[in-house]
Amino acid sequence: MNAVELVKSAIEDIRLFKRVGRRLEALPPDEVAAIELVRAYHEGKAEPWMTAYLLGCIAHISGYDTAKAILLAHPGLLAESYAGIALARMAGANAYDDLRSIMLNHDHPKTRRGAAYGLAHMREPRAIGDFIEGYAKRQLRPRWEVASHIAKCGPDDSLLIELLHSPDVPLQKLGCAVVDELLFKDHGLTAPGPKVAECVLSLINADALPAGTARLAKLRDWATALTPGPSPASGRGEIVG
């Protein structure tokens, strides 16, 4: 089946959307398929979330405006996360300004969240400051998700140390959550170094974070192993998503 036929099959049977998406991703971007899908969406034959998802799989720029409209107008039911990623897949770095603006300025939290997924999909280091800004202004939540976005963009140790040394406790917790992501999730990035470990251990042993969990214990073990000399008595702490 060609791209157009694949799109038509998903429109006829929504249960096929994931299978169709995988096959579309293996094909070159197809303008005719994107136009067919956009037409079906405007005629009410394709759900917003499925349209956004498949436009991202087709990855042709002709679907950009429709995916952006879905991101702005249809928060919920996965439409926003699919649409944000679709913009990144279709336009690459050219979608950065749109996604950043939506993430930091849109009224609906799910729309902001969807734009954040799009920015994270690009894995661009310049987005790290935008994620921190959105988190600090309480525009982006939950913490674990923001931390995952930051980790995917490859933060260096100096940035992590800046977060961990912040006088703002929520930013300290965000820094710990990013370290946790880099250490224990498969992002394919370099683990933080000893200076970051010292900062983490200092926060844990100073009881700077709320009650302890197994997750925090793993972080403590890592920091202790990487920090030279005897460590202070264990404190308590938690990284809450």
Q: State which residues form the domain around 87.
A: 1-122
Tokens coding 101: 């603006």
pLDDT higher at 9 or 228: 9
Residue 106 sits in the same domain as residue 218:
no
Question: Would you place residue 3 in the very low, low, confident or very high pLDDT band (cuts 50, 70, 90)?
Answer: very high
pLDDT per position as a tens digit, 23-53: 999 999 999 999 999 999 999 999 999 999 9
Average pLDDT of the segment spanning 116-132: 97
Residue 90 sits in the same domain as residue 42:
yes
pLDDT at 212: 58
How far is residue 103's CA from residue 163's CA, in Å, rounded to a whole number? 21
In a domain, 149, yes or no: no
Residue 15 sits in the same domain as residue 73:
yes
Residue 118 sits in the same domain as residue 1:
yes
pLDDT at 149: 97
pLDDT at 209: 67
In a domain, 136, yes or no: no
Residue 112 sits in the same domain as residue 219:
no
Share of the chain above pLDDT 90, in %: 80
Average pLDDT of the segment spanning 123-146: 96
pLDDT at 151: 96
Q: Tell me phi and psi for residue 239, to 5 degrees.
A: -105, 110
In a domain, 227, yes or no: yes
178-185 long-range Cβ contacts below 8 angstroms, 24+ apart: 178/147, 178/150, 178/151, 179/219, 180/147, 180/215, 180/218, 180/219, 180/239, 181/144, 181/147, 181/148, 181/150, 181/151, 182/151, 182/155, 183/218, 183/219, 183/222, 184/218, 185/148, 185/151
pLDDT at 207: 76
In a domain, 220, yes or no: yes
Average pLDDT of the segment spanning 188-199: 91
Residue 11 sits in the same domain as residue 91:
yes
How many residues in the chain?
Answer: 241
pLDDT per position as a tens digit, 51-75: 999 999 999 999 999 999 999 998 7
